């Protein structure tokens, strides 16, 4: 298995709808490690580490999060980052 890390930026109605918890649930079920956080501009940012094929599945499954209305998902390669689990980062703004 070749592990890699991606950065995922999700826009739409993705804050205050349980999206971060949904992303963590999907990641945990797939064995993806990383973190998810709200951004000040209303988007959500995910750093995810795992096998490339699994990461593709993870990103596609984000569309199934209930109550979230995803307008766009941008995926970028990111510096390989080892995570031990998948966590929700608390917003430190406002």
SS3 call for 83: coil
Q: Which residues pair with 9 in a beta bridge?
A: 45, 74
Single out the catalytic residue among 16, 20, 24, 43.
20
Single out the catalytic residue among 16, 24, 38, 67.
38
Q: Is 92 an annotated catalytic residue?
A: no
Q: Give the whole-angstrom CA distance, residue 18 versus residue 16.
A: 6
Q: Give the whole-angstrom CA distance, residue 17 versus residue 32.
A: 22
Q: Is 20 an annotated catalytic residue?
A: yes
Q: Give the whole-angstrom CA distance, residue 15 versus residue 11.
A: 9
Catalytic residues: 20, 38
């Amino acid at each position: 298995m070749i592990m890699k890390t991606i950065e995922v930026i999700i826009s739409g109605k993705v804050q205050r709808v349980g999206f971060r918890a949904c992303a963590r649930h999907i990641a945990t079920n797939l064995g993806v490690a990383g973190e998810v956080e709200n951004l000040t501009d209303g988007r959500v940012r995910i750093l995810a580490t795992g096998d490339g094929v699994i990461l593709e599945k993870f990103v596609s499954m984000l569309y199934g999060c209930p109550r979230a209305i995803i307008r766009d998902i941008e995926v970028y390669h990111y510096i390989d980052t080892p995570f031990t689990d998948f966590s929700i980062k608390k917003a430190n703004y406002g």
